[in-house]
Amino acid sequence: MTESLKFPFGTARRICVLSLAVLCLSACGGKDNNSSSSKYIAGSSAFKSEALTSRFLGRATFGAKHSDIKALTGTDVSSWMKAEFSKPASPYLEPLVEQEPNRVLGRGARVVPDHFFDVAIAGDDQLRQRMILALSEIIVISSESGIRGRPLTMAHYVQILSDNAFGNYRQLLEDISYSPAMAFYLTYMLNKKGDAASGRVPDENYAREILQLFSIGLKELNPDGTDKLDEDGNPIETYDNADVQGLAKVFTGMSTQGSDFFYIYKDFEKSYAPMVYHPKWHSNLEKSFLGVTIPAGTSGPESLEIALDTIFAHPNVGPFVSKQLIQRFVTSNPEPAYVKRVAETFDKGHFVLPDGSSVGTGDRGDLKATLAAILLDQEALRNPKTLPDDYGKIREPIIRLTQWARAFNENTPDAEDEDIFNYLNNGGIQQSPFRSPSVFNFFRPGYVAPATATGEAGLVAPELQITNEITTIGYINFINAFIYDRSYNKSKDPEGGIKADYSEALLLADEPFALIDYLDLLLTANALSEKTRQRISDVLMEIPIRDGSEDYDRNTRVRLATSMVMTSPGYVVQR
């Protein structure tokens, strides 16, 4: 570990202004154009060169390590994929249950996000963890709600995402529907059947969101994710309010195990276990939706099976889910043909890897096959030299932090010890795992940023929904707090929290371009433009390596260079 640094005000001010300028350029749709100076080796194999290896790992994991880039370059990506699919999953619920209950409950909304950061940074099952984050931004539950004080209930939700990350989307929908966290969040816990005498009707919240956000969306889709149009050229709605009212009856009568329906904490352990139906409060009426009618008198569990089978059978599910997963891993504006290929894999349930072996069960909705299709598609692996301007995505703030920590070999993170995480959603980076402001996630998949180059081009840019003047400056301050080891720890333990090991980079600090080459490969997969590289070099050269102060000056160079790279368009925009 290296000491915390300060640098002269004039230098710091110039760096901050430059960083802010280039990051704002990125957020407003500007490009760090490297088309004329790309150092990528042409080819479509994920691990053909070090840069391509770094690029692939930047998508499929929470950040490449230099040792991983060296070890994987020249190997077969099929072996890596199969190894990731077979790795034991890092647990979420069990470790928290085993802790002292009052301590866990006292930490409230931060318990699960802190544990997630630790696993995302140091966990071995990287692909699974990336999929957990992606799924959590489609099937959203947030601890910034009534379940703020129920961390074990939240941990059960994340455990469901983990268990199903390489499973089947139909099973995921079922497990989530029985989740107490979802029932608390979307208000169908204690959802009573309708009563004509009093005018009471079932809660419609979950029925609406499972259709709109978790499965089929608002508009009928073609297999390539584009809108189907009627004879007048207008989009076709997938459902109406009558469908929501009919489906809402399915989610009546659900509550925790061992309770009397109302006394949900009779057995506290059941607040983080699958719910059950309580027949007395489940609607026995007909339930009609999406062209299907469940007969009167059908039990709750059977009604749910029919409902989920009906929803899952809708042809929208494949393109609707596939496109959003592509956006989370690869690019915000995938070509329709890319979406179609992935959606077809979703429907087929298997994918042939480059080595000729297959992954997936052959059942529709297989997420292992879908994820392989996303990461190994021809569009995902196309030559970076030939990428169009509309290709790529903004890196999520969560991933920027984890990538920094992994790049500099943080192997024992302790996110609980970081006070800075108390302020993520209050003028900081506006993103923390499982703490979105609403069921619509931190950003919408179809968000078009106004008054930007991307918006004028008609492109969606989901992450720009949380990118503004406040969060741009907030990100610079946030990431620099970690880079310069100034994030304040609860225990003030010098070795606590999330730290970096810059020892490899320090060996290159005497030669600015060697240091920039190292950071460029590790953090951006060689996406920095020559102009940005020259700017960084010019600033580093203002910091001489002085006799008697060599260690201090090398540390200053390394951290300045890291800060400038991580606030440049070539980094913020993942290509």
- State pLDDT tens for residues 534-573: 999 999 999 999 999 999 999 999 999 999 999 999 999 9
User: Buried b vs exposed e over 550-567: b needs ≥16 C-beta within 10 Å?
Assistant: eebbbbbbbbbbbbbbbb
- State pLDDT tens for residues 184-210: 999 999 999 999 999 999 999 999 999
- State pLDDT tens for residues 62-89: 999 999 999 999 999 999 999 999 999 9
- Unique residue bearing structure tokens 């503004």: 468
Give the number of other Cβ atoms within 10 Å of residue 529's Cβ.
Answer: 19
- State pLDDT tens for residues 20-32: 444 444 444 444 4
Q: Give residue 41's pLDDT band: very low, low, confident or very high (50, 70, 90).
A: very low
- Unique residue bearing structure tokens 């298997």: 350
Q: Give residue 15's pLDDT band: very low, low, confident or very high (50, 70, 90).
A: very low
**For the packed helices 367-376 and 126-136, what is the interaxial angle rounded to 10 degrees?**
100
pTM of the model: 0.93
pLDDT for position 250: 98
pLDDT for position 424: 64
Q: Does pLDDT of 282 surpass 60?
A: yes
User: Buried b vs exposed e over 399-426: b needs ≥16 C-beta within 10 Å?
Assistant: bbbbbbbbbbbbeebbbbbbebbeebbe
CA distance 484 to 200: 58
Instruction: Name the DSSP letter for residue 522.
Output: I
Contact, 370 vs 346, CB < 8 A? Answer: yes
Angle at 45 between CA 41 and CA 50, to 5 degrees: 50
- Unique residue bearing structure tokens 């609707």: 320
Percent of all residues in the chain with a pLDDT value above 70, rounded to a whole number:
92
Closest alpha carbon to 171 in 137, 222, 142, 135: 135
Q: Does pLDDT of 34 surpass 60?
A: no
CA distance 567 to 467: 13
CA distance 539 to 555: 14
Average pLDDT over residues 101-110: 82
Give the number of other Cβ atoms within 10 Å of residue 43's Cβ.
Answer: 11
Closest alpha carbon to 28 in 520, 464, 344: 464
Pair of tokens at residue 25: 């350029």
Q: Does pLDDT of 4 surpass 50?
A: no
- State pLDDT tens for residues 509-535: 999 999 999 999 999 999 999 999 999
Q: Does pLDDT of 423 surpass 60?
A: yes
Within a 13 Å sphere around the CA of 207, how many CA atoms are in the beta-carbon half?
25
Average pLDDT over residues 402-412: 98
CA distance 14 to 184: 49
- State pLDDT tens for residues 121-144: 999 999 999 999 999 999 999 999
Pair of tokens at residue 506: 């320090």
CA distance 306 to 102: 40
Q: Give residue 16's pLDDT band: very low, low, confident or very high (50, 70, 90).
A: very low
- For the chain, the average pLDDT equals 91
The 3-state secondary structure of 317-362 reads HHHHHHHHHHHHHCCCCCCHHHHHHHHHHHHHCCEECCCCCEECCC
pLDDT for position 426: 53
Q: Does pLDDT of 37 surpass 70?
A: no
Angle at 541 between CA 536 and CA 544, to 5 degrees: 140
pLDDT for position 418: 93
- Higher confidence at residue 1 or residue 141? 141
pLDDT for position 105: 80
**Ramachandran sector of residue 426 (left: φ over 0; alpha: ψ -120 to 50; beta: rest):** beta
